[in-house]
């Protein structure tokens, strides 16, 4: 069963001397990638729409992104059940997830949103608390000093 999970960190507003400050936010997108590389149809539809949107945009001079407190972090969860399958099928398993990450990067190039490095992890083989694993990735991306 393929699934898509998106979670957005809460944005807080504090009133100080008639000015508001916004804390850093990170939107986490977690994609489940099956052993044959398929992802939920919503992801395929988003990919199609992003590609069409990018093709229809005028070719202008690329603007440099401005520093911002908003970012998108994408995790790709594979479901291989043995190390051998995980190593041999890695490119197949994460193919659509990598395409999705690339499309998000391209779509946000001219915006103020930063796309962080994606995480690729085989959840059946690696626990979330392993070094360089899911928990560490979440903590790194959720910290205000990303």
Residue 62, pLDDT score: 53
The 10s digit of each residue's pLDDT in 103-139 is 888 888 877 788 888 999 998 888 888 888 888 888 8
pLDDT of residue 75: 93
* Average pLDDT estimate for 53-59: 62
Check residues 69 and 58 and name the one with the higher pLDDT: 69
Four-residue CA torsion sign, 23, 24, 25, 30: negative
Q: E strands within 9-143?
A: 13-16, 19-22, 25-33, 70-78, 114-115, 119-122
């Amino acid at each position: 069963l393929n699934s898509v999970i998106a979670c957005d960190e809460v944005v807080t507003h504090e009133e100080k001397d008639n000015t508001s400050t916004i804390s850093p936010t990170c939107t986490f997108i977690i994609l489940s990638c099956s052993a044959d590389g398929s992802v939920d149809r919503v992801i395929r539809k988003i990919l199609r729409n992003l590609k069409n949107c990018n093709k229809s945009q005028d070719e202008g001079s690329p603007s440099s992104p401005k520093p911002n407190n908003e970012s998108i972090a994408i995790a790709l969860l594979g479901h291989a059940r043995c190390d051998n399958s995980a190593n041999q099928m890695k490119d197949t398993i994460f193919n659509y997830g990598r395409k999705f990450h690339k499309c998000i990067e391209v779509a946000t190039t001219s915006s103020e949103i930063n796309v962080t490095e994606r995480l690729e992890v085989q959840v059946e083989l690696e626990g979330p608390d392993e070094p360089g694993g899911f928990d560490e990735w979440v903590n790194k991306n959720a910290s205000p000093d990303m």
